[in-house]
A and B are shown apart, each in its own frame.
Chain A
Amino acid sequence: MLVEGYQKLHPLSSSPAVVMEQAEQVKQSFLDFMKQKPSFSPTWSPAGEASSALSKSSSSVVMSSDENLHHDAHQAHSSSNPCESSSESRPVLKAHDYIGLEEVSSASSSVNENDSTSDVEDTDLRLGLGPLKDDRSTWRRVPLLELELLEPKDKATSTAQGSQHASASVPTSSGAVPPPKNGIKRAFGEALGEAKPGVNMASSAFMQSGQSEHQHSAFLSSWPPSKVDGIYAKMGGKMSMDEPEMYGSALAEPPPAKDQVVGWPPIRSYRKNTLAVTHSQPAVDGEGISAVYVKVNMDGIPIGRKVDLNVYRSYESLLTALEEMFYSPSNGNCKHFLRNGVFVLTYEDKEGDWMLVGDVPWGMFVNTVRRLRIVRGSEATGLGPAR
């Protein structure tokens, strides 16, 4: 798949500056290589081709699942950016790329002036977020910060507004600029100063913009679901091929709490499995998706506990678990203090009444219970017939 021309590049040399330079050459060659392939056209081509190019292009941005969205986005917004600049000249595009050696054209930046008010979809593009159905044009994430990374000579014209394409441009450690690292630093410093107004705009923009939750629910729900499923599928497939669940003693699947992203939040699977076992006492096999969490207090014990009612399938298992949890000989308990009447389990229902546990079917009980209390048998009068 590789073109032979690139083989003439030297192998590693020892000096770091030379190495960096060669690294730049390599990247430049990569860019050229990418240009040759028709499917790898740069992202800055007019909207029509943008979408397909986007996913394959080597430049910044985006998850492939967002292609279509971007296509629409580009078409909808004529002012949005880079399209114009790209139409000016292809070679200029190279410059936009942060690897390019030439300066970034200022035209693109000025064109993008108004982008700070442009829409959400652009920003989605950049962040790889899912399609936002709402038209919250005030939601501006960003990218006002992008352009600060231009070469020093361009800072006069550049501002902090940027499209995602400008974001790809960065002052590069080109061979032309001596000590490349210093070059970058200088550019950063100067550009940062330049970018301050932009940054302020950005932050004020954030203040004005809409809710984050909305964004995020969209984010999560559309977070490449195909990826997630795919990963699960692949792993499931793999697992069926090897020795299945050798490791399973009571490896219950922890409830997929708030989100469905694989491996997030980053808690070791060992820990997840451990907790699922320890704190869901009877062996769990496919408990409900959500947990019904109620507080349990016992007379004479100042500290309460919380139990997840969905873990238990019946009153029996609930009673057993509570007996284990609250067993304390100091209170004169025997092991089955709930069953022999020394203590009685009561619950507060949705109306605030305290009732004896056990009268209604389990499912109804789980739906109406708000909290539980273990009271002494002698005090549980007037609550209805004892079981």
Chain B
Amino acid sequence: MKRKAAEEEQETQVDFKATLVVSKCKCPTGEDESPSKVSPLLPLSDDLMEHVLKFITDHKDRNTVSLVCKAWNALEASGRQRVFVGNCYAVSAQRVAQRFPRLKSLSLKGKPRFADFDLVPRNWGAFVLPWINVLSESHPFLEELRLKRMTLADDCLELIASAFPQLKALVLTSCDGFSTDGLASIAANCRHLRHLELTENILNHKSGAWLRAFPVSCTSLVSLDFEDLDHDDIDFEALEGLISQCNNLRTLKLNRAVSLLQLQLLLAKCPQLIELGTGSFSPGVSREEQAKLGDCFGKCSQLRTLSGFWVVAPGHLSVIHPLCSNLVSLNLSYSPICDGELSDLVSQCPKIQKLWLMDTVEDKGLEAVALSCKELRDLRVYPDHTRQGQGVSEEGFIHIAEGCPNLRAILYFCNQMTNAAVDVMARNCTDLESFRLCIMEPAKPDHTTNAPMDEGFGAIVRHCKALRRLSLSGWLTDKAFEYIGQHAKKLERLSVAFAGESDVGLQHVLRGCLSLKKLEIRDSPFGDMALLSGLHRYESMRSLWMSSCSVTITGCQWLAHHKPRLNVEVIQKRDKDNSTLVDSVYVYRSVAGHRGDRPSFVMAL
């Protein structure tokens, strides 16, 4: 049935497009949805279209459908259940609420990404409360709320809990402003809660009592992720009780307070888990206990994803060996393990696709990974927080490049790199979609040739045709940007720091990268000319962020004046000597006009 409808839909789309080309589509301008009214030129009735549209779920596809004509726009809008808003200030909550009456799931993203690195002052904005205020009236049957980089306080969480009784999923990523009290009100009031996921939020860990707030009869949880929480007093009994009741639990990610033995107790109650965050994986236990743990892990035959490992008692990583043959995703980025332990582990994980590590494993560890993990798609190597160790270098990079040809995404923090090594990766891993290389010293050249890193990044954009995300580092001249502008046609996200020489560089990118959606730049010598060279591009991009560059207030004002549909927000230090340079400028398209909740240090032009 589904296939038939999809085929039908495809055929009719083709037919329809043909019709469109020939004749202009005269759709009724009214927004009425009475199914009986059929436009004379549309070969499809609204009924049929509605039915067909149900099978189109990807939001990009739906956006495209809604652009075809007004009738389809109205139809699509009336049926859309999942809405993704990439920039919470691009559109007003009222407008979203009006356009999508059947909205069930809302995803919102707030602050610019550089807020993660303390480049955006606190209280910048991205408040959730206005959205909740609107939606609580218009969409009381909201089921899912996914927020990223937004600010919400406990009263907002309380409002969510009380206004949306049908809430099934609350996913907070990199948000801030709330505390465990807010979580308690969610736990207590949302009787149908299935997904509660907190990832990398900054919150006030008042107490572990919020776990007790779950109703005794709660059986609905499918995923529970509270890795962020750092309170010392976890109510283990409450947690245990909760877990044993929720038979559908598939994802459980524990915080640091849960010890290895407690983990064993929990696992015994939910062997059906697919994703597990292990808690601190310490303190160590005896050999017998280790064996028992190994058995326990072995029983979790569906487990595919492991994370956590906050401390990892020495030598205890071997207890997860029974699982390894099925493991698809492993996040060890918080555990400072060495290459020996890692190679023991990965040699048993042939199917692993996602591996996140800390650079304490060094190049030898990466060599082991390259030997065993041929299916690797996503590799991240994070630096140890003290950065006193040797870290990884271009040797490990080359091992990975040669050993893992299926790589799609890589994030690599290293102390030194060479163009040759990057070239090897470019030639071997041509399916790369996301390439993020961070040479930790700003503007560092290739350490063997002292040349800029232009050629390396140039090779990447030349060979990896599917590249969608790129983060630059090292010493880069305008040549690198020229390469990017020439070759990186599918590039959507570009992150630049301490790179470039002149406005020409940015101009190359803005002219050449036609798919660019998000551009973020810091500490690079791009000025007003560069900013203005993208005048005709910014409306097709989600946002542009430039901080500590050579942009002046005049340039920003120009931009704002000539592109009234863009919001240009400027942060400028008041008492700088005589300069008109701005600290940061944030440009984004918006149909909602300038935002009213700007703090005093943000100027809207």
**CB within 8 Å of B: which residues of A?**
1-2, 6, 9, 11-12, 16, 19-20, 22-23, 26-27, 30, 33-34, 40, 55-64, 97-99, 126-129, 141-143, 145-146, 149, 164, 167-168, 170, 173, 181, 184, 188, 199, 203, 206-207, 209, 211-212, 216, 219-220, 223-224, 227, 230-231, 234-235, 238-239, 242, 246-250, 254-255, 257-259, 261-279, 291, 293, 301-306, 308, 324-330
| B123 beta carbon closer than 8 Å to chain A | yes
Q: Which residues of A contact B311 (CB under 8 A)?
A: 278-279
In the bound complex, how far is the Cα of B334 from the Cα of A262, in angstroms? 22
Whether the Cβ atoms of B336 and A279 lie closer than 8 Å is yes
| B469 beta carbon closer than 8 Å to chain A | no
In the bound complex, how far is the Cα of B123 from the Cα of A333, in angstroms? 51
Whether the Cβ atoms of A306 and B336 lie closer than 8 Å is yes
With both chains docked as a complex, state the minimum distance between the C-beta of A119 and any C-beta of chain B, in angstroms: 16
Whether the Cβ atoms of B388 and A58 lie closer than 8 Å is no
Q: Which residues between 417 and 461 of chain B lie within 8 Å of chain A, taking CB atoms? A: 438, 440-445, 447, 449-452
Task: Please name 19 pairs of A and B residues whose Cβ atoms are closer than 8 Å in the assembled complex, sorted by A.
Answer: A1-B554, A23-B535, A40-B554, A60-B529, A60-B530, A62-B525, A98-B533, A141-B477, A168-B502, A235-B121, A242-B122, A259-B442, A264-B497, A267-B383, A270-B201, A308-B388, A327-B284, A328-B286, A329-B286
| B340 beta carbon closer than 8 Å to chain A | yes
Whether the Cβ atoms of B386 and A61 lie closer than 8 Å is no
Q: Which residues of B contact A141 (CB under 8 A)?
A: 452, 475, 477
With both chains docked as a complex, state the minimum distance between the C-beta of A155 and any C-beta of chain B, in angstroms: 16
Given A1-B557, A305-B314, does the pair A170, B507 have CB atoms closer than 8 Å? yes
Whether the Cβ atoms of A27 and B525 lie closer than 8 Å is no
Q: Which of B23-31, B100-108, B112-120 lies at the interface with chain A?
A: B112-120
Whether the Cβ atoms of A303 and B340 lie closer than 8 Å is yes
Q: Which residues of A contact B504 (CB under 8 A)?
A: 60, 98, 146, 149, 167-168, 170
Contact of A55 among B282, B471, B579 (CB under 8 A): B579
Whether the Cβ atoms of A219 and B123 lie closer than 8 Å is no
Whether the Cβ atoms of B507 and A98 lie closer than 8 Å is yes
Q: Which residues of B contact A58 (CB under 8 A)?
A: 527-529, 552, 554-555
With both chains docked as a complex, state the minimum distance between the C-beta of A349 and any C-beta of chain B, in angstroms: 20
In the bound complex, how far is the Cα of B504 from the Cα of A146, in angstroms? 9
Whether the Cβ atoms of A20 and B536 lie closer than 8 Å is yes
In the bound complex, how far is the Cα of B477 from the Cα of A325, in angstroms? 47
| B382 beta carbon closer than 8 Å to chain A | yes
How does the 8 Å CB contact mask read for B500-542 relative to A, with 1 for contact and 0 for none? Answer: 0111100100010000000000111111111011011000000
* Chain B residue at smallest Cβ distance from A224: B548
| B230 beta carbon closer than 8 Å to chain A | yes
Q: Which residues of A contact B325 (CB under 8 A)?
A: none
Q: Which residues of B contact A238 (CB under 8 A)?
A: 121-123, 601
**CB within 8 Å of A: which residues of B?**
114, 116-119, 121-123, 174, 176, 179, 200-205, 228, 230-231, 256, 280, 282-290, 310-311, 313-315, 333-334, 336, 338, 340-341, 382-389, 413, 438, 440-445, 447, 449-452, 471, 475, 477-479, 482, 486, 495, 497-498, 501-504, 507, 511, 522-530, 532-533, 535-536, 548, 550, 552, 554-555, 557-558, 561-565, 573, 576, 579-581, 583, 601
In the bound complex, how far is the Cα of B15 from the Cα of A16, in angstroms? 28
With both chains docked as a complex, state the minimum distance between the C-beta of A328 and any C-beta of chain B, in angstroms: 4
With both chains docked as a complex, state the minimum distance between the C-beta of A289 and any C-beta of chain B, in angstroms: 11
Q: Which residues of A contact B475 (CB under 8 A)?
A: 141, 212
* Chain A residue at smallest Cβ distance from B411: A266
The B interface, classified by DSSP as helix, strand, loop or mixed, is loop
With both chains docked as a complex, state the minimum distance between the C-beta of A206 and any C-beta of chain B, in angstroms: 5
Whether the Cβ atoms of B562 and A9 lie closer than 8 Å is yes
Q: Which residues of B contact A129 (CB under 8 A)?
A: 443
Whether the Cβ atoms of B528 and A262 lie closer than 8 Å is no
Q: Which residues of A contact B451 (CB under 8 A)?
A: 203, 206-207
In the bound complex, how far is the Cα of B501 from the Cα of A345, in angstroms? 55
Q: Which residues of B contact A206 (CB under 8 A)?
A: 445, 449-452
Contact of B315 among A26, A249, A262, A303 (CB under 8 A): A303
Q: Which residues of B contact A219 (CB under 8 A)?
A: 442-443
Whether the Cβ atoms of B284 and A64 lie closer than 8 Å is no
In the bound complex, how far is the Cα of B443 from the Cα of A306, in angstroms? 30
* Chain B residue at smallest Cβ distance from A250: B230
Contact of B118 among A62, A173, A263 (CB under 8 A): A263
Contact of B230 among A64, A249, A303 (CB under 8 A): A249
Whether the Cβ atoms of A303 and B441 lie closer than 8 Å is no
Q: Which residues of B contact A16 (CB under 8 A)?
A: 536
Whether the Cβ atoms of A60 and B501 lie closer than 8 Å is yes
* Chain A residue at smallest Cβ distance from B581: A64
Q: Which residues of A contact B123 (CB under 8 A)?
A: 238, 242
Q: Which residues of A contact B203 (CB under 8 A)?
A: 247
* Chain A residue at smallest Cβ distance from B444: A216
With both chains docked as a complex, state the minimum distance between the C-beta of B149 and any C-beta of chain A, in angstroms: 11
Given contacts A6-B562, A60-B526, 12 further A-B contacts (CB under 8 A): A16-B536, A23-B535, A27-B532, A56-B580, A60-B530, A145-B478, A167-B504, A249-B204, A264-B442, A266-B116, A303-B341, A324-B282
Q: Which residues of B contact A22 (CB under 8 A)?
A: 536
With both chains docked as a complex, state the minimum distance between the C-beta of A11 and any C-beta of chain B, in angstroms: 8
In the bound complex, how far is the Cα of B313 from the Cα of A59, in angstroms? 57
Whether the Cβ atoms of B478 and A167 lie closer than 8 Å is yes
Whether the Cβ atoms of A56 and B552 lie closer than 8 Å is yes
